[in-house]
Amino acid sequence: MEIVDARVALAPAISLLCGALVFAAADHTFWRRFWSLSAALAKLGIVMSMLPGSLRGVVYTFDLVEFTPGVGLAFRADSLGMFFSVVSSTLWLFTTVYAIGYMEREPNRRRFFGFFALCVSTTVGVAFAENLLTMFLFYETLTICTYPLVIHDETPEAMRAGRTYLAYTLTGGAFVLLGSIWTYQLAGTMTLSQPGILPLEAGRTTLTLLFVCLIAGFGVKAAIMPLHGWLPTAMVAPTPVSALLHAVAVVKVGAFGVLRTIYNVFGVGLLRELGVCDWLAALAATTIIAASVIAIFQDNFKRRLAFSTVSQLSYIVLGAALLSPLAATAAIVHIANQAFAKITMFFVAGSIQRTTGKTTIHELAGIGYRMPYTMGAFTVAALSFIGIPLFAGFVTKWYLSLGALESDRWIYALVMLGSALLNAAYWLPIIYTAFFKAPREEVPVQEAHWTMLGPTLACAAYVLLLGMTVSVPGMPFAMAQAAVTFVFGM
C-alpha cells in the first residue's frame, strides 16, 4: 500500500534546515548545540514515526518536483530505504553528541557542524530517493558536503587528502550520472520502486557495460578494490568525521547504491541471466581478504580501522552479488551491523587520541587500565567483527555463509571463515596490548568526557542488541527480511 506523505521529504529537509540554522547561529555555541541536537532528535522522531507503518507494509511516497515528465525529484520510503534511514538517523544522534564533546576546542566549529548536518540530510535523501536522478543528486551533494569536513584541519596533508577524496568520488559520481541517463534511455524510467526495470532486449553487451558503469560509480564510495584509495587517505579528518564517513554516510551510501543497482535497477532475474554478478562477487571476496591482510600491517590506529572498513564493506557487496535471498538478508543487515561496530571503534580511537594523544597501536600498552570502559566498548566491537555469536557480526557471517551455500558457491563460505581469522589477527593484538601489556608507569583511571564516553557505550550496547534480537519483530533484521521479500518477489 502506498501513501503520499510529506514526512518522507521532511526527513532530509529537517537536517537541511538545521544546517542553515547552524550557519545562522554564527559563533553562539549554545544555539549551535541546540539546533544540532534538536534536529537530530526531530529527524529520528520523524523516521521512527514512519517505522510502524513501514513494518506493516506501507510505503510512503512524496513527489517533490518534476522537471519534465518522468524526470524529477521524488522520495519513497520502502523497507530498504527505511532500514538505511533508521540506521543513519540513530547514528547521527550519537555522533552529534560525540562531536560536540570532541570538537570542544577546535576552530571553525560553525562550518563543521553546519556541513555535518547537511551530510546527514543527504544521506537520508539517498535512502529515500525514489529514482536514480534523486539518488545521484544526493550522492553528489554528499561528496560536496563532506569535503569541508575532510579538510577541516586545513593542513597541507588534509588539503591533499581532500583533493584525492574529490578526485575519486566525483569521478564515481560522473559514472553514476552516465548510468542514470543510460538507464532512462533504455528503460524509459529511472524509478527505484520496482524489482528491476531494465529489459533484457536492450542487449547483453549494453547491459553489462551499464552494470559496470553503475557499480563503478557506486563502488568508489563503497570502496571496492581497486577503487578504495581515497578512504585511508581521508583518515586525516577529525575523528567524528571519520566515524561519519566510514560508518554512516559516505561508504554506506555507496553500498546502498550497489544494492539499489542490483535489486531495483537490474533486478535479480535479469542479473542471473547476465551472469555479471559472479565477477562482482569475486571482486568483493578479493577485497575482503586483501584489505584484511593490509590492515594487519598498519600501526596507525585509524588506518587499521580504515582498511577494516574496506574489507567489511565488501561483505555487503558480496552478499548482494550472490543473488540469493539469505545472502541478501546478510547484505542489508550488515549495513547496520558494520555501522554500529565501526562507529564504536572510531569513537574509541577518538577518545584515546583526545585523552592521551596516542594515535598508534604500539603506544596503547596498558590503555585498558586507564580507560576501562572505552576499551571495553572496543572489545565488544572487535568481537562482533570477528563474528562471535551473540554479537551483531555473527548474524551477517552466518547468513552470508548460508547464502553462499544456497547458491552453490561454497568458496565464499570459506572466504567468510578466512575473514573471521584475519579479523581476529588484527583486532585481538590491540585488545592484548591494551589489557595484558603492563603500562610503563602507574596511571589513574582517566576516561574521556561523558559526551564522548556515552555515545561510545551506547553504540557498543547496540552491537550486542543487534546480535541478540534477531528474531524480535520490529528490529532491523525484520525490516531487512521485508526488503528481501520484495526484491526477490517472494
Binding site residues, other proteins, CB under 8 A:
65-68, 71, 73, 133, 137, 140, 144, 148, 151, 154, 166, 170-171, 173-174, 177-178, 181-182, 184-185
The residues pairing with 68 across neighbouring beta strands, listed in sequence order, are 71
DSSP-assigned states of every residue in 308-373: HHHHHHHHHHHHHHT--HHHHHHHHHHHHHHHHHHHHHHHHHHHHHHHH---BGGGGTTHHHHSHH
Cell numbers given for 270: 535479469
Nearer to other proteins, 170 or 457 (CB): 170
Nearer to other proteins, 71 or 417 (CB): 71
* 273 C-beta neighbours (distance < 10 Å), count: 13
Helices (H), 25-150: 29-55, 79-102, 109-127, 132-150
Min dist CB 170 to other proteins, Å, is 6
Min dist CB 20 to other proteins, Å, is 12
Min dist CB 76 to other proteins, Å, is 17
Which of these, 196, 223, 221, 224, lies nearest to 210 by C-alpha position? 196
Nearer to other proteins, 48 or 71 (CB): 71
Nearer to other proteins, 16 or 166 (CB): 166
Backbone angles phi, psi at 197, to 5 degrees: -120, -15
DSSP classification of residue 70: T
Min dist CB 439 to other proteins, Å, is 41
DSSP-assigned states of every residue in 187-242: HS--BSSSS----GGG-HHHHHHHHHHHHHHHHHHTT-TTS-THHHHGGGS-HHHH
Min dist CB 178 to other proteins, Å, is 5
Min dist CB 270 to other proteins, Å, is 19
Min dist CB 260 to other proteins, Å, is 18
- C-alpha dist (Å) from residue 354 to 63, 233, 238, 285: 45, 20, 11, 36
Which of these, 259, 232, 231, 252, lies nearest to 337 by C-alpha position? 252
Nearer to other proteins, 132 or 248 (CB): 132
Nearer to other proteins, 69 or 357 (CB): 69
